[in-house]
Chain A
């Protein structure tokens, strides 16, 4: 098993408005790839399919050697918790929770022993330069919040990190720093990285660029309704 993720003959659609067909797509362990395409082109949809948050009509999706398609929702939840790290454009941290607790949430979801949560979360945050681990994340700067979000994504040592437009809301300097951080963290964690971005400047950072347009078979007005997790 050499692949972090592998998709074969995957079909997905939002009704008649939008459909994706992926004959084959795979990412090796530790490989870093960019999914490129414009807004609404299906980049996020592809990430959600891999994460098991959207269910494909047909085909197979394998993460860390385990099938995500055709399994129960709770089985997909377990695979996601243990093998997939997620980074979102707006971080999606819980503002009333401390930085440490936000990271510990991922450990809790993955079923890691509770007594290890605080230590593991704190050590990783300190490594990423966050010292005020007990402060509610709402009181941290945007850059610090980004670090907390990255820490949450890699704390379970995932097989793959899926980053959905992680720099879309940042200026150029902060975007560079954020991507440096994500790629460095993935490298150190040994995780593959699949990053979705509409920013063409990002392409130079990746050894592999996947154009999502090549998978799209139908596209009208893109809607978010359809098969959902």
Chain B
């Protein structure tokens, strides 16, 4: 017989109340841990997609808009960049690569991006994770399409099927006025492996095809009949909406000291907007940071409420335990030792709840990470961050111990004489 066996016996005697209280701590701990995991995952998800790009050039209104449109495909950029400007930028500095992209069309609401072949061969959507094909091949001829994993799953398209693209972003607002490029069917030639980025929602084709579609529209407006070919393109038809740039780096390194210098150089050209995607994403994070803090605050509030439930559960049990405490005192157990037992009891509930919360969070994360990646392409690491886990577990245990202070004081003050004397 020792203090711990008395505590365990006491917890066992109030089994239901103990389980419910520990479960409330477990749920609060799991909620906080999952929120932190999702927070980290969402930050990482934002960074995914910028991949190996150092600078993004567009003709959008601001660098943040350029990143939202160019990396996250929020909208089709409204202002084009001429092919001549692309050549000028590309030739002004020995970039590692400069990939032109054009957006503006869609398929069933999924954005279409026309890209240069280097987009698949040089650009990596996530650093160290180049494009991988799930099926088929990358586009090698005009009017071929390679689909992002989410778009492929949602539309059910397979390699070999034909599709017609729609002019515009395909949003519900644009849908009724949407113009389908019905003369030019595209063939799905490949489906990409998930990258865990916004690219997974995109259908990729080559620049020539996109230019031919829009040149054909122009020629129709001009009253020219017949199909448009690449030979019919004018210089003005060769427009792009973005340029992904990467500066040379040392092998194995991502950073380049020349990025800031080149950024400043490009900014002098007022006809374009240049953005450092990582910087803009940090800005975006600070904008949405308040929402994120709200979620964390909610988690802490749930944890506090579970602390209160420990306090209430133990406080309520004190009335029926006065005789037990008085008896221990009568047998010669010191007040402080009994106080310690009550605190140990609260701490054990908190400990069991916190460990249960970790297990719950691990199971939840494992289920959620698979579902999130499959459904929206968000990559969530199912493991728990050791630092935040230790902090949250320690927090839950300390909070539980604090919740035991009031019942412990009640135990300390319990009168032996009042509680053991037979009623007169």
Question: A residues engaging B (CB < 8 A)?
Answer: 39-40, 44, 48, 51, 53-54, 73-74, 77-82, 84, 86, 88-90, 92, 94, 96-97, 101, 104-110, 114, 117-118, 152, 164-165, 168, 222, 224, 228-229
Contact = CB atoms under 8 A, between A and B. Distances in A.
Contact of A92 (B9, B327, B333): B327
A53 B331 contact: no
A109 B333 contact: yes
Contacts of B5: 101
A2 B319 CA distance: 43
A221 to B, nearest CB: 11
A94 B327 contact: yes
A152 B331 CA distance: 9
A89 B422 contact: yes
A82 B424 contact: no
Interface in B302-336: 323-324, 327-336
B417 A114 contact: no
Interface in B3-33: 5-6, 9-10, 12-13
Interface string B401-422: 0000000000000011110111
B1 interface: yes
Contact of A164 (B327, B415, B422, B424): B422
Contacts of A79: 332
Contacts of A110: 332
Given A94-B327, A96-B12, 20 more contacts: A53-B416, A54-B417, A80-B331, A84-B332, A86-B330, A90-B422, A92-B330, A96-B10, A96-B13, A101-B5, A105-B1, A105-B328, A108-B333, A109-B328, A114-B2, A168-B422, A228-B416, A228-B417, A228-B418, A229-B416
Most buried by A among B9, B329, B331, B421: B331
Nearest to A168: B422
Interface of B: 1-2, 5-6, 9-10, 12-13, 323-324, 327-336, 415-418, 420-422, 424
B263 to A, nearest CB: 72
Contacts, number: 89
A90 B423 CA distance: 10
A224 B418 contact: yes
Nearest to A162: B330
Nearest to A75: B334
**B contact face: mostly helix, strand, loop, or mixed:** helix
Nearest to B323: A92
Lowest 3 CB-CB distances: which A-B pairs, in order? A81-B332, A104-B1, A96-B13
A68 to B, nearest CB: 12
Given A74-B334, A229-B416, A117 B1 contact: yes
Contacts of B329: 53, 77, 229
B420 A92 contact: yes
A15 to B, nearest CB: 14
A227 to B, nearest CB: 9
A165 B5 CA distance: 31
A86 B422 CA distance: 14
A71 to B, nearest CB: 13
Given A81-B331, A96-B13, A110-B332, A224 B417 contact: yes
B324 A108 contact: no
12 contacts: A40-B424, A74-B334, A74-B335, A74-B336, A79-B332, A80-B332, A81-B332, A89-B422, A94-B327, A108-B333, A109-B331, A109-B333
A108 B1 contact: yes
Most buried by B among A92, A110, A164: A92
A7 B231 CA distance: 122
B422 to A, nearest CB: 4
B9 A97 contact: yes
Contacts of B327: 92, 94
Contacts of B6: 105
A106 B422 contact: no
B262 to A, nearest CB: 74
Contact of B1 (A51, A53, A107): A107
Contacts of B328: 105, 109
B175 to A, nearest CB: 69
Contacts of A164: 421-422
A26 to B, nearest CB: 23
A175 to B, nearest CB: 15
B417 A229 contact: yes
